[in-house]
């Protein structure tokens, strides 16, 4: 017997108290494809945890007359028809605590990184009701992602639910990783949930988080593609419970669900195996409520509740840019905005390929710093107008002076907004280039030289910058010092 099993038995003996116990006993009728049908437990209810005689565990997922449809969470391989089953005395939950920071776990809290089991004094149920409106506060604190487009034109606030949507291979996960890495110098605790991903993708994600020092404040919850469907279904709820624990203690948290398209497919698979009636695209009718229950737990708590927050970045996949599919439209209606990544922009070399026209943040602007809001002002609208004006240049039409100037500024802005992955930038950098752009210091530049000057700006900011609350004239001085002097040196 292993040391861990001996410790579990010792703890059980220490907690044992002799008394009369009446317990229901059921039995397995059939098992296969990650589910088991169980009979003989008349008091079992939805989401009750079952323990089988062979050591396997399952979760009651469907009530069908005299049978219980159970999804398997652990499977020893010895579970067969006739195996006895009993109700587990504790509801499904996960151990929580600061010891989980820097760890890689499965949805049940078991370590996957080869280290010892974390010592966690707390415990959180997987399924809890979302905070009532009386415990919530308005989103008022910005969450900086380190991305030029998001921090200026599509801002995100702590407690917001912002959807990352687009086709496969366009950089949705890279954008989420950038956001996690950007929290390196902040007080935000991160939870990254990987649902149904290949092992190579899981290993690469963990490697990048460690390489950039993000694992110090991040917990990774993994249910890879080879895991039981029940674990893949529970993975986002486990990650949400971890983040909710820190939120309830007054901390700001960020949880990434990568991705909910795979989660929806897993839920559809389990529902069809349990003979639930299919609906649109064969998904069960309650798939909307499953994701709504999950995402509604992300919020900003009031000061009386500790003032913590949970920001959710769910990721969803589209097919050939079709955002009107069932799962994408469901998630768009639940979240507070979306960041849409466009394949045409990606192919044209605009990275990250964020379609500003299709992206929106409905409440993030309330949390934006006044200085950032002032400078970003009409920038998004001007950029969208530039995209329309640029179409006329394809016909070789002669342009008025004002229109030509607007197109030139738009092309420069497009170059400014380009950004390499895994290179998040501080908010002071964003304010510096916006002041320079709004003051016309970049108007005379050739667009091909923009990135070089911005790289020099980044080096200059390492020597110290004004504060966001400082007067604008100090930022104007910095912008002129950097861009005008650099331009003169270049000439």
Q: Say which of 362, 366, 374, 449 is annotated catalytic.
A: 362
Looking up tokens 């149920």 gives: 125
> SS3 letters for the chain?
CCHHHHHHHHHHHHHCCCCCCCCCCEEEEEEECCEEEEECCCCCCCCCEEEECCCCEEEEEEEECCEEEEEEEECCCCCCCCCEEEECCCCCEEEECHHHCCCEECCCCCECCCCCCCCCCEEEECCCCCCCHHHECCCCCECCCCCHHHHHCCCCECCCECEEEECCCCCHHHHHHHHHHHHHHCCCEEEEEEECCCHHHHHHHHHHHHHCCCHHHEEEEEECCCCCHHHHHHHHHHHHHHHHHHHCCCCEEEEEEECHHHHHHHHHHHHHHCCCCECHHHCECCHHHHHHHHHCCCCEECHHHCCCEEEEEEEEECCCCCCCCHHHHHHHHHCCEEEEECHHHHHCCCCCCECCCCCEECCHHHHCCHHHHHHHCCHHHHHHHHHHHHHHHCCCCCCCHHHHHHHHHHHHHHHHHCCCCCCCCCHHHHHHHHHHHHCCCCCCCCHHHHHHHHHHHHHHHCCCCCCCCCCHHHHHHHHHHHHHHHHHHHC
CB burial class (10 A; 0-12, 13-18, 19+) of residue 147? buried
Angstrom distance (rounded) from CA 158 to CA 116: 33
- The number of residues in the chain equals 491
CB burial class (10 A; 0-12, 13-18, 19+) of residue 216? exposed
Angstrom distance (rounded) from CA 188 to CA 218: 9
**Two tokens, residue 416:** 């400014």
Active site residue 405: no
What are residue 39's phi and psi, to 5 degrees? Answer: -125, 160
CA distances from 398 to 323, 392, 404 (A): 37, 9, 9
Q: Could you check whether the bond before residue 259 is cis, i.e. omega within 30 degrees of 0?
A: yes
Work out the end-to-end distance of the chain between its first and last CA atoms, rounded to an integer number of angstroms.
76
Active site residues: 362
């Amino acid at each position: 017997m292993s040391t861990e099993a001996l410790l579990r038995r010792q703890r059980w003996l220490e907690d044992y108290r002799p008394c009369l116990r009446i317990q229901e006993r059921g039995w397995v009728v059939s098992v296969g494809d990650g589910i088991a049908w169980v009979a003989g437990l008349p008091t079992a209810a939805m989401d009750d945890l079952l323990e089988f005689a062979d050591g396997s565990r399952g979760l009651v997922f469907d009530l069908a007359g005299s049978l219980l449809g159970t999804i398997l969470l652990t499977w020893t391989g010895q579970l067969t028809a006739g195996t006895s089953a009993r109700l587990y005395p504790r509801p499904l939950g996960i151990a929580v605590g600061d010891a989980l920071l820097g760890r890689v776990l499965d949805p049940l809290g078991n370590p996957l990184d080869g280290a010892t089991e974390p010592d966690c004094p707390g415990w959180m149920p997987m399924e809890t009701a979302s905070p009532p409106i009386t415990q919530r506060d308005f989103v008022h604190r910005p969450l900086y992602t380190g991305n030029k487009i998001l921090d200026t034109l599509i801002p995100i606030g702590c407690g917001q639910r912002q959807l990352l949507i687009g086709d496969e291979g366009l950089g949705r996960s890279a954008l989420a990783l950038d956001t996690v890495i950007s929290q390196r110098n902040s007080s935000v605790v991160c939870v990254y949930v990987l649902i149904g991903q290949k092992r190579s993708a899981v290993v690469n994600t963990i490697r990048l988080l460690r390489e950039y020092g993000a694992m110090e404040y991040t917990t990774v919850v993994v249910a890879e593609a080879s895991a039981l469907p029940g674990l893949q279904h529970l993975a986002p709820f486990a990650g949400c419970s971890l983040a909710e624990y820190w939120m309830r203690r007054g901390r700001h948290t960020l949880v990434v669900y990568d991705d909910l398209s795979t989660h929806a497919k897993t839920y559809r698979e389990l529902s069809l195996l349990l003979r639930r009636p299919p609906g649109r695209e064969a998904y069960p009718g309650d798939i909307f409520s499953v994701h709504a229950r999950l995402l509604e737990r992300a919020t900003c708590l009031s000061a009386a509740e500790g003032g913590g927050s949970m920001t959710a970045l769910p990721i969803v996949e589209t097919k050939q840019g079709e955002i009107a599919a069932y799962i994408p439209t469901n998630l768009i209606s639940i979240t507070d905005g979306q960041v849409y990544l466009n394949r045409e922009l990606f192919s044209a070399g605009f990275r990250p390929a964020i379609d500003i026209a299709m992206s929106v943040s409905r409440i993030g602007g309330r949390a934006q710093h006044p200085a950032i809001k002032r400078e970003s002002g009409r920038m998004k609208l001007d950029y969208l107008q530039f995209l329309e004006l640029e179409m006329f240049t394809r016909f070789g039409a002669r342009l008025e002076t004002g229109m030509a100037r607007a197109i030139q500024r738009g092309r420069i802005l497009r170059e400014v907004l380009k950004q390499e992955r895994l290179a998040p930038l501080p908010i002071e950098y964003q304010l510096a280039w916006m002041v320079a752009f709004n003051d016309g210091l970049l108007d005379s530049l050739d667009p091909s030289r923009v990135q070089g000057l911005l790289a020099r700006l980044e080096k200059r900011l390492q020597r110290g910058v004004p504060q966001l609350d400082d007067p604008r004239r100090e930022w104007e001085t910095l912008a002129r010092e950097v861009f005008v002097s650099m331009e003169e040196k270049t000439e």
